[in-house]
Structure 1
Amino acid sequence: MEEAPNKQIVFRDFIVGNPKETDMELKVGKVGLKVPEGSGAVLVKNLYLSCDPYMRGRMREYYDSYIPPFAPGSVIEGFGVSKVVASDHPNFKAGDLVSGITGWEEYTLIQKFDQFRKIQSVDIPLSYHVGLLGMPGFTAYAGFYEVCSPKKGEYVFVSAASGAVGQLVGQLAKIYGCYVVGSAGTKQKVNLLKNKLGFDEAFNYKEEPDLDAALKRCLPQGIDIYFDNVGGAMLDAVLLNMRLHGRIAVCGMVSQKSMSGAEGIHNLFMLITKRVRMRGFLQSDYLNLFPQFVDQIINYYKQGKIVYIEDMNEGLESAPAALVGLFSGKNVGKQVICVSAD
């Protein structure tokens, strides 16, 4: 069988706290360029890879979650856009463009097909299928419409608002007719929220000594909907500012450096006094809505009603630094790795 070299990013061992570049290493293996008959597998060449905060959790040994941890010594995996090289699966043929879970490597043999899809829309950037039209975009869509249950004219606050999920939540809320405020970690990101993404107001949480005061300044009427991407001190401050019958969609807890020893939340009593509904969710809970999500977001994008900001790193070698950078706010927009442009 013809073989090709295959660069791979391998997970070294379980971590505590945030990942470091040294927790991953670049190796070069080999891959057969044909798929055995009867295997039902698909061999893909990876084009774009997604860096996402949830991947940090998969680097912990004890991780009671919806997805198992990475195995030390294995290739890191995540969402990606790929081209089919060879196939023994009836739904995919050589040359097809696909999106789904793949390896952080040049070539991956796909044998599990959960959330693995053929890309139908090729008239927008391919990389958008790991962002705007991928898991982060669908998380924003399902979280806002299904979990937040918005009403026109409501006051919406989004944390990590310039990130892969937050930037779309804010724009969907504006289209829906809400007043939208976002927080981010640099002046550049705050300017993007207000001047490019259409948020009504935004603030740099790193420059705010009192988050409660910042929220009262930007949202004096209070908050009907909080789309939470960070947890921690921001969530605690938001609880003091929720309006009666408000909703909190818990999407992420990126402020937590580890699953143990994280700062506690002190203002949960506000859930009772304001009758607030606080709910965690996963985009995979709503996969029946994925086709309508794709149609609606493509329509908004083509009409110019939404924009999407990417932070593109070139080359598989850049992947460890890109993932690590998520947890210091280094990225501006959705962090993507370009492995190959063809």
Structure 2
Amino acid sequence: MVTTPTENNRVLLASRPEGEPTAENFRIETAAVPEPADGEVLLRTVYLSLDPYMRGRMSAAKSYAAPVEVGAVMEGGTVAEVVESRSPDLEPGDLVLSHLGWQEYGVQPARHVRRLDPARAPISTAVGALGMPGFTAYAGLLQIGRPQPGETVVVAAATGPVGSMVGQIAKVKGARAVGIAGGPQKVAFLQELGFDVALDHRSPTFREDLKAAVPDGIDVYFENVGGHVWDAVLPRLNTYARVPVCGLIAHYNATEAPEGPNRVPQLMQAILTKSLTVRGFIQNEFVKEHYRGFQEEVSAWIREGRVAYKEDVVKGLENAPEAFFGLLRGENFGKLLVQVGPDPTR
């Protein structure tokens, strides 16, 4: 039985970070649990998704989405349980995909949440392999990268929720998958997932290793990191290579331009002379046409054992800031989740 709570613990943005975020940029407080109005539901957070895009929301710089206001609850995707409903479409005990942010309880319009079927897949996957990260990989790779059988697909941060899906979907489509990750443990995991080659970007011989791994060049590079990995990849791109760009985590904490020569002319020359397609994207631009197909295809691939996923679960909302710092440093191993409250399916 779902009981109505009285206190709501939540994490607020206390100040905007300069460079790498610190604990001082967050504040944990206890507030009253809000009451739902007609058409709304009161939700209890089970899982909170932590994702690199949240660093951008902490900044007031102009971006594709509005920043989190100082003093407001940090935003984030959530899997939640309905505690109280004032909508005929949902009942207490229903499990939903929602966007409550970093808090234990919250109210949302029933039309803004999606009911989950625990019999179809573990509910945590709704913010991972079968959620925004999985769809980012699916849409970016298939709609922009468009890998063909026998082509070489390279992806960095390859053990993360996006990168691991990119490589596995590339394999499903008949392409050759080269994954780049940090450290021997992550490299070994990529080999378990069936990547053709797994490389450690921390290795002093990384550039040489990448060159050896792609003797015929790179046809698709799925970019979500930037930094020295991109510097090593650029010379290896083939004519007509496609580069979907969904993130640049290596630069999110930067406060000034990087040192060294201006590489923009080199990049523009490569785009021109190799006829490269470099396309930034936000996953929601593909939702209307491709989300249903994503749900059907990827859930089937998971059931068939053709696609696997790994979750890194941290328990307790109070630990969300420290887990987020680790995410930005690449310390997570798999899809990073905070288990805020009990999972009624386990």
Give me the TM-score of the superposition, normalised by structure 1: 0.93
Equivalent runs, 1:22-41 vs 2, <5 Å: 22-32=24-34, 34-36=35-37, 38=38, 40-41=39-40
Question: For the residues of structure 2 that align with 1:334 and 1:262, how far apart are their CA atoms?
Answer: 30
Structure 2 distance, partners of 1:218, 1:72, is: 46
| TM-superposition CA deviations, 1:51-101 (whole Å, max 9, x none) | 000000111122x21211111111111011011122234433322211131
Q: Which amino acid aligns with 1:28?
A: T
Q: Structure 2 residue aligned with 1:67, among 65, 68, 73?
A: 65
**Matched residue, 2:224:** 229
Report the CA distance between 1:274 and its aligned residue.
1.0
Secondary structure at the residue paired with 2:300?
A: helix
1:80 touches 1:102 (CA, 8 Å); kept in 2? yes
- Listed as ranges, the matches of 1:150-161 within 5 Å are 150-161=147-158
Q: Which residue of structure 2 aligns with residue 16 of structure 1?
A: 18
What pairs with 1:1-342 in structure 2 (closer than 5 Å)?
4-32=6-34, 34-36=35-37, 38=38, 40-62=39-61, 64-111=62-109, 116-194=113-191, 196-208=192-204, 211=207, 213-258=208-253, 260-263=255-258, 265-266=263-264, 267-268=266-267, 269-288=269-288, 289-340=290-341, 341-342=343-344
How far off its partner does 1:232 sit? 2.5
Q: Distance in 2 between matches of 1:265 and 1:298?
A: 41
Question: What SS does the aligned partner of 2:159 have?
Answer: coil
Q: Which amino acid counterpart does residue 283 of structure 2 have in structure 1? A: Q
Aligned equivalents of 1:136 and 1:22: distance in 2? 28
- Residue type at the aligned position of 1:318: N
Q: CA deviation at 1:210?
A: 5.4
Aligned partners of 2:320 and 2:338 also within 8 Å? yes
SS in 1 for 2:77: strand
Question: What SS does structure 2 have at the residue aligned with 1:77?
Answer: coil
Runs of 4+ more than 6 Å apart: none
CA deviation profile, 1:31-52 (whole Å, cap 9, x unmatched):
14x423x3x3221111000000
1:228/1:252 contact within 8 Å kept? yes
Separation of aligned partners in 2, 1:251 and 1:230: 9
Give the TM-score normalised by the residue count of structure 2.
Answer: 0.91
Distance apart, 1:113 and its partner CA: 5.3
CA distance in 1, matches of 2:111, 2:25: 28
Structure 1 CA distance for aligned equivalents of residues 13 and 205 of structure 2: 38
Give the secondary-structure state (helix, strand or coil) at the position aligned to 1:94: coil
**Retained in 2: the 8 A contact 1:162–1:184?**
yes
RMSD: 1.8
Q: 1:215 to 1:158 in 2, by over 3 A?
A: same
How many aligned positions are there?
Answer: 334
- Does structure 2 conserve the Cα–Cα contact (< 8 Å) formed by 1:236 and 1:265? no
Q: Distance in 2 between matches of 1:134 and 1:262?
A: 33
Q: Distance in 2 between matches of 1:189 and 1:253?
A: 20
Give the letter aligned to residue 317 of structure 2. L
Task: Return the alpha-carbon distance in structure 2 between the equivalents of residues 243 and 112 of structure 1.
Answer: 48
The answer (yes or no) to whether the contact 2:76–2:101 under 8 Å persists in 1 is yes
CA contact (8 A) 1:239 1:271 kept: no
What letter matches 2:301 in structure 1? Y
Q: Report if aligned partners of 1:155, 1:224 keep a CA contact under 8 Å in 2.
A: yes
The SS at the match of 1:255 is helix
SS in structure 1 of the partner of residue 338 of structure 2 = strand
* Equivalent-residue separation in structure 2 for 1:265 and 1:118 (angstroms): 47
Judge conservation of contact 1:183–1:203 (CA < 8 Å) in 2. Answer: yes
Q: Helix, strand or coil: the match of 2:250?
A: coil
The one-letter amino acid paired with 1:188 is Q
% same residue: 39
Q: Unaligned stretches of 5+ in structure 1?
A: none
* Conserved 8 A contact 1:161-1:183: yes
Residues 80 and 262 (structure 1 numbering): CA distance in 2 closer, same or farther, change over 3 Å? farther
Offset at residue 173 of structure 1 (A): 0.4
State how far apart, in whole Å, the 1-side matches of 2:279 and 2:167 are: 19
Gaps of 5+ in 2: none
